[in-house]
Amino acid sequence: MATVLRPALAGPAAVLCLTVLLATACSSPDADPSGSGTGSEEDTGAEVRITPEDGAGDVSPDSPVEVRADGGTITDVTVAVDGQEPTGANEMTGALNDDETAWTSDWTLTPGSEVTVTATTEDAEGETAEAVSVFTTREAVEGQRLELESNFPTSGETVGVGMPVIVNFDLPVENKAAVESAMEVVSDKPAQGAWNWFGDQMAVFRPEEYWEPDQKITVNMRLAGVQAADGVFGIENHQLNFDVGRSQITTIDSDTKRMVVERDGEEIQDFPTSLGRATTRAYTTTSGVHLTMEKYDQLVMDSATVGIPEDDPEYYKLDVEYAVRFSNSGEFTHAAPWNDQLGEANLSHGCPNLATADAKWFYENSYMGDPLVVTGTDRQLEVDNGWGYWQRSWDEWVEQSATGEPDATDEPGTPGSPQGDGE
């Protein structure tokens, strides 16, 4: 993993180390010609120690890589896996201390791999030399290999300004802070965000405020080697790239029975609508900050899917057009040509009804992750109903994060460390 050197606030203390003398043309004749001993005081070469040591085996994948140089400075460190120097989410970055004599890796190591660490140093005379440590990491055990099951959005998608990053894992995660710290969110424009967990297998990242429009977001999921639970290690890194498009925010008011669409701060549509009749909780449209989730040009709406079975007098089954989902409790905007009281009365089973032309426009002009705000009803959207994540205040969102700290997405790294104690 090719390394980017960056400064740290403080250098780490070296632990069990390999000592290598980097001999130069000015080295003392008393120096060990094998390059494996400690030089005398007259040596001008740098003494380098690398952890894990050369020849080590069964190294825990969540061990940090550390390099220390005495009598010189570190100018480069590369960490290659199985002979390759990966890039992207596989790239191994690291931090230098202020005097550039100590370097510590940021991320964990791929299980079951041969790792080659090459450190380049420069002494006071300007002479450069290299030290190398080659070691192998412990394999992840069958049945204890954390893998990515799905993520939203997916690479290549253009999304709305409210879109979170949703990551689903195939196994429960106990060490949530370590896994959070392994997932680096990078935005073109300044923002801060944090992860929250919904159960033990789903992590969700959202910024403090909506994303600024028209920018690229990269998520480096450096999961390989992270110890998600006792003996459970991530086995593969992933990179997610998506675009945030224009800002489009829709407001639906139950009192006025209007649906207003603003794009980049300007009102562009004002549609009459009809919300839930509110005779029961199920027929009450949820108020709060929703996100558009998915859309269908044609959809069968069956009340049995939301707990109203066929033998119930309230049962319904409808074929609708231009449906845009905004919760998991059966709420969609959709065409309702049978409803002749749009803008006048709330008569639906909970979905905002629209004229066919209006529903088609909204269907064609919606991105996944566009905010849709409903006001005026007495049923509040739950934070875990669909993508109701904006229902949680920012202070509570940060507090619910396993690291308890926000992440500046325009800066490298994450608030915590994915590394363990290496045991």
Q: What is the distance of C-alpha 181 from the center of its chain?
A: 9
Inform me whether the pLDDT recorded for 85 exceeds 80. Answer: no
- Per residue in 212-245, pLDDT (tens digit) is 999 999 999 999 999 999 999 999 999 999 999 9
pLDDT reported for residue 214: 98
- Match 């480069």 to its residue by tokens: 76
Alpha-carbon Rg for the chain, nearest whole angstrom, is: 28
Q: Catalytic residue among 238, 290, 334, 349, which? A: 334
Q: What length is written for the chain?
A: 423
pLDDT reported for residue 20: 33
Q: Per-residue b/e over 291-317, b at no fewer than 16 CB within 10 Å? A: bbbebbeebebebeeeebeeeeeeeee
Inform me whether the pLDDT recorded for 1 exceeds 80. Answer: no
Q: Distance between CA atoms of 125 and 113, rounded to whole angstroms?
A: 37
Q: Catalytic residue among 238, 290, 349, 351, which? A: 351
Identify whether 351 is a catalytic site residue: yes
Q: Distance between CA atoms of 410 and 50, rounded to whole angstroms?
A: 31
How large is the average pLDDT for residues 123-147? 95
Inform me whether the pLDDT recorded for 419 exceeds 70. Answer: yes
**Band of residue 301 on the pLDDT scale cut at 50, 70, 90:** confident
Inform me whether the pLDDT recorded for 120 exceeds 80. Answer: yes
Inform me whether the pLDDT recorded for 31 exceeds 50. Answer: no
How large is the average pLDDT for residues 108-135? 95
**Band of residue 6 on the pLDDT scale cut at 50, 70, 90:** very low
What distances in angstroms separate CA 121 from CA 32, 44, 57, one per listed residue?
19, 12, 26
pLDDT reported for residue 302: 83
Contacts 24+ apart (CB under 8 A), 400-403: 400/196, 400/197, 401/180, 401/194, 401/195, 401/196, 402/176, 402/177, 402/179, 402/180, 402/195, 402/197, 403/177, 403/180, 403/181, 403/194, 403/195
**Band of residue 423 on the pLDDT scale cut at 50, 70, 90:** low
Q: Are strands 353-354 and 332-335 parallel, antiparallel or unpaired?
A: parallel
Inform me whether the pLDDT recorded for 282 exceeds 80. Answer: yes
How large is the average pLDDT for residues 21-26? 31
Percent of the chain with pLDDT over 90: 81
How large is the average pLDDT for residues 168-196? 98
Closest CA to 193 of 416, 414, 417: 414
**Are the C-beta atoms of residues 77 and 106 closer than 8 Å to each other?**
no
Instruction: State the CB neighbour count (10 A cutoff) for residue 147.
Output: 13
Which domains are assigned to the chain? 5-136 (2.60.40.3780), 145-246+395-408 (2.60.40.3710), 248-390 (2.40.440.10)
pLDDT reported for residue 171: 98
- Per residue in 354-396, pLDDT (tens digit) is 999 999 999 999 999 999 999 999 999 999 999 999 999 999 9
**Which range scores top for mean pLDDT: 1-5, 316-320, 412-416?**
412-416
**Band of residue 422 on the pLDDT scale cut at 50, 70, 90:** low
How large is the average pLDDT for residues 103-126? 96
Q: Distance between CA atoms of 186 and 167, rounded to whole angstroms?
A: 16
Q: Are strands 294-302 and 148-152 parallel, antiparallel or unpaired?
A: unpaired
Identify whether 334 is a catalytic site residue: yes
pLDDT reported for residue 310: 83
Percent of the chain with pLDDT over 70: 89
Q: Which of 134-138, 301-305, 319-323 has the lowest mean pLDDT?
A: 301-305
Amino acid letter for position 413: G
Phi and psi at 53, nearest 5°, equal: -75, 160
**Between 7 and 362, the higher pLDDT residue:** 362
**Band of residue 311 on the pLDDT scale cut at 50, 70, 90:** confident
pLDDT reported for residue 306: 73
**Between 32 and 97, the higher pLDDT residue:** 97
- Per residue in 142-178, pLDDT (tens digit) is 999 999 999 999 999 999 999 999 999 999 999 999 9
Tell me the three-class secondary structure of the chain, residue by residue.
Answer: CCCCEEECCCCCCCCCCEEEECCCCCCCCCCCCCCCCCCCCCCCCCEEEEECCCCCCCECCCCCCEEEEECEEEEEEEEEECCECCCHHHCCCEEECCCCCEEEECCCCCCCCEEEEEEEEEECCCCEEEEEEEEEECCCCCCCEECEEEEECCCCCEECCCCCEEEEECCCCCCHHHHHHCEEEEECCCCEEEEEECCCCEEEEEECCCCCCCEEEEEEECCCCCEEECCEEECCCEEEEEEECCCEEEEEECCCCEEEEEECCEEEEEEECECECCCCCCCCCCEEEEECCEEEEEEEEEHHHHCCCCCCCCCCEEEEEEEEECCCCCCEEEECCCCCCCCCCCCECCCCEECHHHHHHHHHCCCCCCEEEEECCCCECCCCCCCCHHHCCHHHHHHHCCCCCCEECCCCCCCCCCCCCCC
- Per residue in 33-83, pLDDT (tens digit) is 333 333 333 344 789 999 999 999 999 999 999 999 999 999 999 999 998
Which pTM was predicted?
0.86
pLDDT reported for residue 89: 87
